[in-house]
Chains A and B, each alone.
Chain A
C-alpha cells in the first residue's frame, strides 16, 4: 500500500515533509490519469479526491477541481491540514459549496418534475443523472487505501 507520511506524522515538521511527499506522488498519479483521460475522449480531467488530507495534498500540484456540477459558487480547495487561517477558510468554503449544491440539486429536480410530471419518475431520472455525473471510479482510485504510484 502507498505510504501516507502526513497521516503518520508526529510533529509539524514531519507533517510538512509528508505533505511534500504526497504532492510528488499525487502529481505523478494525477498526471498519468489526466493524460489517459485526455487521450481517450478529449475531456478535461474531472475527479473527486476523497477526504481532506488527500485533497489538500493534491491541490498544491494540480488544478484539482470539484465535479463540474459544482462549478457554480466554486471556490479553491481548502488546505485545512496547514492549520490556522486555512481551517477558517475550510469552514467558510463549506457555506458557498452547500448553497451551490442545494440550488443545483433543487433546480434539476424541479425541472425534471416539470418535464415528466411525476415526482417518482423525476426521482429515478435524477438518481440516474447523479450516478452518471459522479466520478465514482476516479474518486475510488484516489482513496487512501487503494492509491498506487505508477
Chain B
C-alpha cells in the first residue's frame, strides 16, 4: 500500500501519508467524548486535518507566473 501510494502520489504524498499514520499511532484518538483523553486525540485529528487542508488549497492554487 505504501509503495503503491508512493508511486502514484510521489515523495511529498508519501511523507504526508506517513505523517498521518504516525500521528494517529502516537495519539489516543477516540470518538468517546466522555473520556479525559478525548481532547488529546482531537489534537492529532486537527493536525492531520490542517495539513490536508493546506495541501488541498496549495494543490488548486493558481501557479505563479515564471518571469525572467
Contact = CB atoms under 8 A, between A and B. Distances in A.
Interface of A: 7-12, 15, 51-53, 55-56, 78, 80-81, 83, 87, 90-91, 93-95, 97-99, 101-102, 105-106, 109, 123, 126-127
Contacts of A90: 23, 26-27, 44
Q: Label chain B's interface by main secondary structure.
A: helix
B7 to A, nearest CB: 8
8 contacts: A80-B26, A80-B40, A83-B39, A83-B40, A87-B40, A94-B19, A95-B19, A123-B3
B15 A78 contact: no
Contact of A52 (B3, B29, B36): B29
A52 B26 contact: yes
Contact of B22 (A9, A11, A12, A97): A97
A135 to B, nearest CB: 15
B11 interface: yes
Contacts, number: 85
A98 B22 CA distance: 7
B2 interface: yes
A102 B3 contact: no
B36 A80 contact: no
A98 B47 CA distance: 15
A120 B4 CA distance: 11
A105 B17 CA distance: 13
B66 interface: no
Interface in B11-26: 11, 14-16, 18-19, 21-23, 25-26
Which has the most chain A C-beta neighbours within 10 Å: B14, B37, B40, B44? B37
Contact of A81 (B3, B34, B37): B37
A8 B19 CA distance: 28
A73 to B, nearest CB: 11
